[in-house]
Structure 1
Amino acid sequence: MKPGLAALGMGVFALAMPACVLQAQEASATFQPPRTEWGDPDLTGMWPLEVGQTPMQRNPRYGDQAYLTDEEYEAALKAAIELNQGADVEERSDTLGAGSWFERGRVLRQTSLVMEPANGRIPPLTEEGKRRSEASRSSWDNDVFETIFDFNSLDRCITRGLPATMIPFPYNNGVEIFQAPGYVVFNHEMIHETRIIPVFDRPQLPDEMRTWLGDSRGHWEGNTLVVVSTNFNGESPMVIVGPTNQKLMTSDQLKVTEHFTMTGSDTIRYEAWIEDPVILTAPFKMDFPWRRDESYESFEYACHEGNTLIPAYIKATSPRFAAERAAGIAAREAAHRDAGKITPE
């Protein structure tokens, strides 16, 4: 447990934890993972983040209840089965929608991926955090686009950012781990981002050097890979902006501390502490299991090739291009009339 956060509701978690979860954690505490040729715990393989049926933030109706009861879990499993049949429902109704490509994955016993603080929710924003989040722009909450800064980093196919990159999404959830002496590499299906983590004594980047995914440094604490990331540029969202997520930005003071611990031959416990004193009034922690699935194959993530949609959105919506759009429409109508496709009134 990371110092300074241990007191955030762990007593409540233990009291609410189902017996099956406690037994699994006790068994995993003694697990000894296989080793690489150079002696590090071997995390290699495909670990898709297919736990999207569990929300990042807890529904307020659960309060401090960290785990579903048996009855609630059975109901959640049934609801997940129905939701995952979206493609079949659309095929029977001869429609095409998100059901044909959303992959929400499995249901956890947890009521949220955020497990600290005790209410399973991101702490309140600072005043500066509110200001930055309200000022942020993206294709989800904007109809008129004037510059590239009206699009966030995911719109622009740059990055989901951290911790967003490590949060399940409705699709493209593949995460493949590679290892070499002194390095652990996370290759993400979404945007094909690659996080190259040195796990030897390598100096941190100078403070003036800032990147989209920060500067990550790793080390082993027993069987746990610990990765600390700093030096962020503060220009990406903290969570993916969408119809159900709150707008939440980052600053250059963001710090993400991650723990990767193998708890079984095909399971990892993923923990991430997120601190950003400019944006958040307090830190929070995500804690959820990963499961290896070597049958999972990553698809090409073409995004919008050549970034052609960014200028297209601007030209299609910005008042600066109104005259150009009107002239283009008039020219196309004239060409159609000349071709006999439009009958003059």
Structure 2
Amino acid sequence: MTSLRFLGTALAAALLLPATPVAAEDAPAAAAVPDEPGLKAPPGWKAPRTEWGDPDLTGKWPIDNLSGTPAQRPPQLGTKAWLTDEEYAAALKAADDQLKLYNMEVKANRMGIGHWTERGTPMRQTSLIMEPADGRIPPPTPLGLEKSKDTKSSWSEDTFIWVTDFSPYDRCIARGLPGAMTPGAYNSGIEVWQSPGYAVIRLEMIHDARIIPLTGKGPPPAPVKSWMGYSVGHWDGDSLVIETTNFIPGQPIGGSGVGGRAIPNSDQMKIVEKLTPTGPDHIHYEAWVSDPLMLTAPFKYDFPWTRNPDYVQYEYACIEGNEQTRGYIEGTSPFLAAKRAERAEMRDAGEIMHPEDAVTLSLKK
């Protein structure tokens, strides 16, 4: 399960590569926003209101349909932010070919990657990150590069000694921000609830629920931290603006550090999100991510949400019995392997008893 998590995203990134790669130095500058559904409100449209007068953003807004667009732009596209008509047609065809994997597996009476991943229809955007101009997470600071050495996960390690060799995502604690607000390989459901003074963003992956007070109160003191940070919100016209701080440090922001490991966040990371209704079935989602200790510059996610009232979020069990982490450690740790060999030798020599033998002996007594 762990090794499959982001494979759908990796496949999606490949789908966006044009038939003839565009060199970064030859790529055109970012063009004006095309008529991408959900990024601009139609003329004269007004956002509905709740009973208490706030803009109504409630509903189911799964982002599984965005999994056909990579978070970071393929480097060979440079500052090319939008696909041409010809490239977009090719991307749609490639995505359709990938969807056929599901039916091929059904016909073969087997379950594989075609069932595991959720594939969306590619957008004209070449990446979910739209700032800076190259659509990629900025380089790390020297501290960020150094700290990336300790940012371990099941994606970077082959040997696991202790739970610190796994990310909070591996351990099903939290996917963290900003990652939790982007599509994964599956379970990309998002649901918005509202009540007077509060908004709640319910996430399907790792079953997180972000409870956001709109009462004007600031965050708690700096020592109070959590995996998903602490969010406070306010209305800016029809837009819900959410500021999140007070993060537990050490979670992956993304980017590339030592050995391809992600850059971790510090406790100075700040995320400002803006949810703007742009029609009865669309929200324009924007998120500015900054961490002055770990990244040399901020970056911005920018993409539409599309309403899907038929989407159902089921329980996210993640690791049944919470046994997978232990299994990784017992199966790969050279220290434990040596200890097992040592115990086996002692048991064969009669110096110690196998636990099962001890149980049998106790029952006989």
TM-score range, shorter chain: 0.7 to 0.9
Alignment partners' CA distance in 2, 1:253 and 1:32: 37
What letter matches 2:204 in structure 1?
A: E
Query: CA shift at 1:246, angstroms?
Result: 5.7
Q: Does the 8 Å CA contact 2:189/2:313 hold for their aligned counterparts?
A: yes
What is the match of residue 340 of structure 1? none
Alignment partners' CA distance in 2, 1:28 and 1:133: 44
How many residue pairs get matched? 316
What is the match of residue 299 of structure 2? 284
> In the TM superposition, what are the counterparts of 1:1-16 in structure 2 within 5 Å?
12-13=29-30, 15-16=31-32
The answer to whether the aligner puts 1:17 opposite 2:33 as a matched pair is: yes
The answer to whether the aligner puts 1:254 opposite 2:269 as a matched pair is: yes
What letter matches 2:52 in structure 1?
A: W
Q: Does the 8 Å CA contact 2:117/2:185 hold for their aligned counterparts?
A: yes
The answer to whether the aligner puts 1:206 opposite 2:221 as a matched pair is: yes
Alignment partners' CA distance in 1, 2:215 and 2:101: 46
- The 3 A distance-change label for structure 1 pair 213 and 24 is closer
Select the residue among 50, 62, 77 that pairs with 2:77: 62
Alignment partners' CA distance in 1, 2:189 and 2:111: 24
The answer to whether the aligner puts 1:103 opposite 2:118 as a matched pair is: yes
- The 3 A distance-change label for structure 1 pair 28 and 256 is farther
- The 3 A distance-change label for structure 1 pair 27 and 309 is closer
> In the TM superposition, what are the counterparts of 1:57-136 in structure 2 within 5 Å?
57-136=72-151
SS at match of 1:84: helix
- The 3 A distance-change label for structure 1 pair 320 and 101 is same
- The 3 A distance-change label for structure 1 pair 91 and 261 is same
What is the match of residue 339 of structure 1? none
What is the match of residue 39 of structure 1? 53
> In the TM superposition, what are the counterparts of 1:103-252 in structure 2 within 5 Å?
103-239=118-254, 247-252=262-267
Alignment partners' CA distance in 2, 1:137 and 1:125: 17
Q: Does the 8 Å CA contact 1:77/1:107 hold for their aligned counterparts?
A: yes
What is the match of residue 338 of structure 1? none
What letter matches 1:41 in structure 2?
A: P
Alignment partners' CA distance in 2, 1:58 and 1:246: 18
Alignment partners' CA distance in 2, 1:29 and 1:165: 32
Query: CA shift at 1:278, angstroms?
Result: 1.2
What letter matches 1:284 in structure 2?
A: F
Q: Does the 8 Å CA contact 1:133/1:247 hold for their aligned counterparts?
A: yes
Structure 1 length normalisation: TM-score?
A: 0.85
Provide, for residues 125-168 of structure 1, a one-character-per-residue CA deviation record: whole Å limited to 9, x for no partner: 11111111232111112121111100000011111110000011
Structure 2 length normalisation: TM-score?
A: 0.81
Alignment partners' CA distance in 1, 2:323 and 2:70: 33
CA root-mean-square deviation: 2.4
SS at match of 1:238: strand
SS at match of 1:216: strand
SS at match of 2:159: coil
Q: Does the 8 Å CA contact 2:144/2:263 hold for their aligned counterparts?
A: yes
SS at match of 1:171: coil
Task: Give the unaligned 5+ runs of structure 2.
Answer: 1-27, 349-355, 357-365
Q: Does the 8 Å CA contact 1:29/1:263 hold for their aligned counterparts?
A: no
Task: Give the unaligned 5+ runs of structure 1.
Answer: 1-10, 336-345
Bigger mean CA deviation after superposition, 33-42 or 58-67: 58-67
What is the match of residue 18 of structure 2? none
Query: CA shift at 1:248, angstroms?
Result: 2.5
Provide, for residues 225-261 of structure 1, a one-character-per-residue CA deviation record: whole Å limited to 9, x for no partner: 00000111113211499xxx86222111100000000
What letter matches 1:17 in structure 2?
A: V
Query: CA shift at 1:319, angstroms?
Result: 2.6
Provide, for residues 323-342 of structure 1, a one-character-per-residue CA deviation record: whole Å limited to 9, x for no partner: 554457999xxx9xxxxxxx
Alignment partners' CA distance in 2, 1:25 and 1:102: 26
Alignment partners' CA distance in 1, 2:111 and 2:255: 24
- The 3 A distance-change label for structure 1 pair 263 and 27 is closer
What letter matches 1:31 in structure 2?
A: W
- The 3 A distance-change label for structure 1 pair 139 and 83 is same
Alignment partners' CA distance in 1, 2:185 and 2:289: 22
